[in-house]
Amino acid sequence: MNNKLGNRLKDLRIENRKTQEQVAKDLGTTKATIGRYELGIRDPKTDILNSLADYFNVTTDYLLGRTNNKKLNSKDEKSIQKDLKDIINDFKSGQAGPAFFNGQELSEKDLEVLEVGMEAILTTLKIQNKEKYTPKKYKKD
C-alpha cells in the first residue's frame, strides 16, 4: 500500500522536531490519530488535512503527493511578482499599442482580472519548472 501522506507527515513532524503528542495537542486531536495517519491506517478529513498543511507550512497537494514542492520560497514569490509587474506595466504603458480582446480595448477592470490570472499562471509555471529542473539528488522522494 502506498502511504505517501503518512510518510510525508512523519517526515515533516521529524523535520520540525515535533512528537506525535505535540502535533496532536496543537491540532486538538490524539497521539493515536496522528499515528494512524502516519501509518496509513486512517486518512484525515479535509478540514484536518488543511490544518496539517497550515501547521507544517506546506500545501495539501504536497501532503497528498501531488507535488514534491512544499511551497514556493520567498525568492520565487518575489520573482513572480516582478515578472507580473513587468507584464502588467507593458499592458498599461501601451508601448506595444493598446491591449485588445475580442475587438475591445481592455479596461482597468479587465487588466485587474488579467493580473489575477497571470499570477496564477506564473505560479503554476514556477512550480512545474522547479519540479522538472530540480536535480534528482536534491529531490526528497
Q: What is the pLDDT of residues 58-111, one digit of tens each?
A: 888 889 888 776 777 677 888 889 999 998 888 888 777 788 888 888 888 988
Encoded amino acid at 25, one letter: K
**What pLDDT is attached to residue 98?**
81
Averaged pLDDT of the chain: 85
Q: What is the grid cell recorded at 17?
A: 522536531
pTM of the predicted model as reported, rounded to 2 decimal places: 0.53
Instruction: Let me know if 23 is exposed, middle or buried by CB neighbors in 10 A (0-12, 13-18, 19+).
Output: buried
CATH superfamily, with its number, for domain 4-64: lambda repressor-like DNA-binding domains (1.10.260.40)
Give me the DSSP letters along 55-118: HHT--HHHHHTS-S-----HHHHHHHHHHHHHHHHHHHHTTT---EETTEE--HHHHHHHHHHH
**What pLDDT is attached to residue 135?**
63
Domain ranges of the chain: 4-64, 74-138
Q: Report the alpha-carbon distance of residue 97 to residue 76 in Å, rounded.
A: 30
Pairwise pLDDT comparison (141 vs 123), residue with the higher score: 123
Question: At 130, is the pLDDT very low, low, confident or very high (cuts 50, 70, 90)?
Answer: confident
**What pLDDT is attached to residue 141?**
47
From residue 8, alpha-carbon distances to 31, 59, 87 in Å are 17, 12, 37
